[in-house]
Every structure is written in structure tokens, then in C-alpha cells.
Amino acid sequence: MEDIRSVLTQFQTKKKRDNEVQKAGVGPGAAALSSEIPDVFFDLILQKFKLNRIDIALLMFLYRQVYCRPNLYRSHGIGPLNSYAELSTLLSLTTDELAQHIRALENYGFIETVRSGQYFVRKYFTEELDQQFGQNYDEFF
């Protein structure tokens, strides 16, 4: 009997995982905080590019991950690894829809895929705006 209990204690329950997500500051139960998003997003990007609600939510999620939360690779503009399953659940999408929206953001030039689940996100959203505001990135690639 003790062997079964020791094996079962190694597995996390769903409730425990939900608590960890809430502590991480993402998801519906996260604490209300503020994030610094450049005004250029509201003044230029939303007017110039026809982004839908999901594109905006995904871009803001990735942007906040890179620039508004503790991140080891912030100076490179690279975020931490993401699980497609967790991202799609968080945004209420299927994984196919998530991949489609990631490709749309890549086509606009806002993000680049470093590897599956890890993205380079531009500080000022486009290469032209990065140059205009003097944003450069440490060489990582």
C-alpha cells in the first residue's frame, strides 16, 4: 500500500496545477497588475494593421511575457518557452487556430519563432519603429 501512495504523491492534481498558474500571474484568476505597453501600439499599430481580437490578445500575452515580467532574455527580445496546449487553453483556441494566429503575427513582423513555443518579440512591434526609437537587440542567434 505504501508503494502506491508514494507513486500517487508524485503526480500533481489538476487543482494544484491551477493554483500554480494563478501564482504565475496568468489566467483568469491572476491578480490585477499593470504592464507598460508603448503608446505606439495604440497610436500606430492598431490603426495601421488590421489585427483581430485574438491577434491582439496573443501579441499582448507574448509582449508582456518578454518585457513586463521577469525574463532572463529580455535584452534579446526573447520570451520563455510556452506550451501550445497551455497557450491555446488560456486563449480559448484550438492548437490549429493558435498556430494560424502565430503565423499571422510573424507575417506582420511583430514576432519571430526561435523554436517551437519560444518567440522573439519586437520592443516597438516593427523593425522600422525599432530603428526609429533606437532599439537594438543583443546578438543571440
CA–CA separation, 97 and 91 (whole Å): 10
67 and 36 in contact (C-beta within 8 Å)? Answer: yes
> pTM (2 decimals)?
0.75
> Distance (Å, rounded) from C-alpha 26 to C-alpha 77?
20
By C-alpha distance, which of 124, 119, 110, 136 is closest to 41?
Answer: 124
* Domain annotation for the chain: domains and CATH numbers: 50-136 (1.10.10.10)
Amino acid sitting at position 39: D
- Which single residue is written with the C-alpha cell 519603429? 129
Helical segments of 1-141, H only: 2-9, 14-23, 39-40, 46-48, 53-63, 84-90, 95-108, 127-132
Q: How many CA atoms lie within 13 A of 41 on its CB side?
A: 14
**Going residue by residue through the chain (141 aa), what tens digit of pLDDT does each one get?**
557 767 667 766 655 555 554 445 556 556 667 788 999 999 999 999 999 999 999 999 999 999 999 988 998 999 999 999 999 999 999 999 999 999 999 999 999 999 999 999 999 999 999 999 988 887 654
What pLDDT does 22 receive? 47
